[in-house]
């Protein structure tokens, strides 16, 4: 009970801070996430889950403090360096397994699971505890490199190739696909690029078709290549009628049945596994929210996601050179989070929501610069 009361203190302080800030509170589109976060906090307060309450309170404080952004540069070195760190970890696990299992694996509490992923050729986690965590760091680095529109040189191309290969080695098929498709989507959003993009997509489609045909014809060879063996197994499995979703479709069916029990308010935040006795979470954030927090929770979750994305795309079309790196990288991360939420536990793993918070910070920064530029013209 004491922990329960302690958690109320920062929540009350947050409400007080918002009332003091008034109209100067952070941009309203970003602030539109606050109802969903507060709703989640209340759900966990009812369950006396102080750990989850603390996690979501941190998200609240991040949103409140985001309005204070004053720095005029993106810190690329740490993010890109983190991607290279993950790549080195994958190389050590793949090329020096004795060294990796003798020293690095000791630091992870889920060492058996990491070893299972490796022995079953699912993917390489490297120096993190989870394939998904490694892939998230890598794709974040990938998008930051792409959104940097300085002169393209050999070093930048080499970095992109390294990060992309590392994504394949994690075995996260959807991440590798999004690393290609999302930049193409953003190119289509930019004003004046429709004709150029059409020819580029046609050329890319021809190249892609040729590569896919070559891949299928030599599938027996590629199934033994570490970089693409999981893709080869997925293709063979799909041709044999196997479930290549790794059990996700069964989870979706269970989640929908649970949702039908309490469609308005859901079965309770974080209670999917407890109520349904499923072995894992839904692996679909939208179904997870719908199941656990009902229609109300889903509306509160989806509205700010789409609202911010639509406004970001509109800003992307008219952005100045100074704003472009911020808003473009923000759109990269937003689209990735929205798409990944269809197959990942992006709300159960609150670190994923922290990843999305980076896109919100970049969005706020771009809007701040735009306001400054507009005021300077007056």
Q: How do residues 76-127 score in pLDDT, each as one tens digit?
A: 677 788 889 899 999 999 888 888 888 887 777 778 888 888 887 788 888 8
- Mean pLDDT, to the nearest integer, of 43-68? 71
pLDDT over threshold 70, residue 21: no
Burial of 285 (0-12, 13-18, 19+ CB in 10 A): buried
- The answer to whether 355 and 367 have CB atoms below 8 angstroms apart is no
User: For residues 161 and 172, what is the distance between their CA atoms, to the nearest angstrom?
Assistant: 16
User: For residues 142 and 183, what is the distance between their CA atoms, to the nearest angstrom?
Assistant: 10
pLDDT over threshold 60, residue 65: no
Burial of 259 (0-12, 13-18, 19+ CB in 10 A): buried
């Amino acid at each position: 009970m004491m922990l329960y009361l302690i958690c109320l203190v920062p929540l009350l302080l947050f409400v007080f801070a918002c009332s003091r800030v008034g109209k100067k509170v952070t941009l309203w589109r970003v602030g539109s996430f606050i109802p969903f976060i507060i709703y989640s906090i209340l759900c966990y307060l009812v369950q006396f889950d102080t750990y989850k309450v603390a996690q979501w309170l941190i998200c609240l404080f991040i949103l409140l403090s985001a309005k204070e952004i004053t720095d005029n540069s993106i810190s690329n070195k740490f993010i890109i360096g983190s991607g290279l760190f993950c790549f080195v970890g994958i190389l050590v696990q793949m090329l020096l397994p004795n060294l990796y299992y003798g020293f690095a694996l000791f630091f992870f509490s889920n060492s058996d699971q990491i070893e299972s992923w490796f022995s079953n050729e699912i993917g390489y986690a490297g120096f993190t505890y989870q394939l998904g965590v490694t892939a998230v760091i890598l794709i974040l680095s990938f998008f930051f490199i792409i959104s940097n529109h300085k002169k393209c040189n050999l070093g930048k191309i080499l970095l992109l190739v390294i990060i992309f290969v590392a994504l394949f080695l994690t075995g996260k098929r959807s991440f590798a696909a999004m690393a290609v498709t999302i930049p193409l989507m953003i190119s289509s959003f930019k004003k004046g690029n429709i004709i150029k993009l059409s020819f580029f997509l046609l050329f890319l489609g021809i190249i892609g078709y040729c590569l896919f045909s070559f891949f299928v014809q030599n599938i027996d060879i590629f199934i033994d290549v570490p970089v693409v063996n999981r893709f080869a197994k997925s293709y063979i499995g799909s041709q044999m009628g196997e479930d290549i979703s790794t059990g996700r479709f069964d989870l979706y069916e269970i989640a929908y049945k649970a949702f039908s029990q309490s469609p308005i308010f859901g079965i309770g935040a974080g209670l999917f596994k407890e109520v349904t006795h499923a072995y894992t979470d839904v692996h679909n954030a939208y179904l997870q929210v719908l199941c656990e927090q009902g229609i109300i929770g889903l509306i509160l979750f989806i509205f700010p996601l789409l609202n911010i994305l639509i406004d970001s795309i509109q800003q992307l079309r008219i952005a100045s050179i100074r704003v472009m790196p911020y808003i473009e990288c923000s759109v990269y991360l937003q689209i990735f989070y929205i798409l990944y939420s269809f197959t990942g536990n992006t709300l159960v793993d609150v670190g994923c929501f922290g990843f999305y918070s980076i896109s919100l910070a970049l969005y706020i920064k771009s809007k701040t610069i735009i306001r400054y530029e507009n005021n300077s013209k007056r």
